[in-house]
Amino acid sequence: LDEPTSGLDPEVSREVRELILSLASTGRTIFLSTHNLTEAEQLCSRIAVMKTSLLALDTAENLRRRIFRRQVAVVLEKVTDSIIDAVSTLPYAKNVVHSGDRLLIELEDIDKQRAELVRRIVDTGGAIVSVTEEQHPLEEVYLSLMGGKNQNAE
């Protein structure tokens, strides 16, 4: 299918996406050619990025992991120097970046180390508003693969 929802109104676009997902759930293979990366991620189990030749082929999540470091974004009521120091001294915390009320921290293993990171911040007096893994849109993956500059890439 080449740009199957291009030029369609939102209601019909949704119906087309539901049809594609329904067909895929029956075990059918569907090739979708699109510049709508949000739609590609929503509909496709694997993403191929091409520029004259195949640059990458994998799940959207695996493409992200291949290109970007996994980072945790911690929003606090207030970021203090003592919190930054406490987080920076954790042996598995890399590249601690402070911006306003937010810390962006690269961890060696987010799934195993997130809880200890939160404990350290709370023990240091930090009031946490939220903790999320930084998500890079598929557009950033695409641009990076196409040779665009990306400062978060490995």
pLDDT digits (tens, 9 = 90+) for 43-79: 999 999 999 999 999 999 899 888 888 899 999 999 9
pLDDT value of position 152: 46
Q: Report how far apart, in Å, the C-alpha atoms of 52 and of each of 2, 107, 135 are.
A: 17, 36, 28
pLDDT value of position 122: 96
pTM: 0.67
- The per-residue DSSP string of 84-110 comes to HHHHHTSTTEEEEEEETTEEEEEES-H
Contacts of residue 91, defined as CB under 8 A and 6 or more positions apart, other chains included, come to none
Q: Report how far apart, in Å, the C-alpha atoms of 153 and of each of 67, 73, 148 are.
A: 6, 16, 11
pLDDT value of position 135: 83
Contact 138, 37 (CB under 8 A): yes
Which parts of the chain sit beneath pLDDT 50?
150-154
pLDDT value of position 65: 85
Question: What span, in angstroms and rounded, lies between the C-alpha atoms of 79 and 113?
Answer: 20
Q: Report how far apart, in Å, the C-alpha atoms of 79 and of each of 68, 75, 108, 114 are.
A: 25, 9, 22, 18
pLDDT value of position 148: 62
pLDDT value of position 59: 95
Tokens of 139: 């557009």
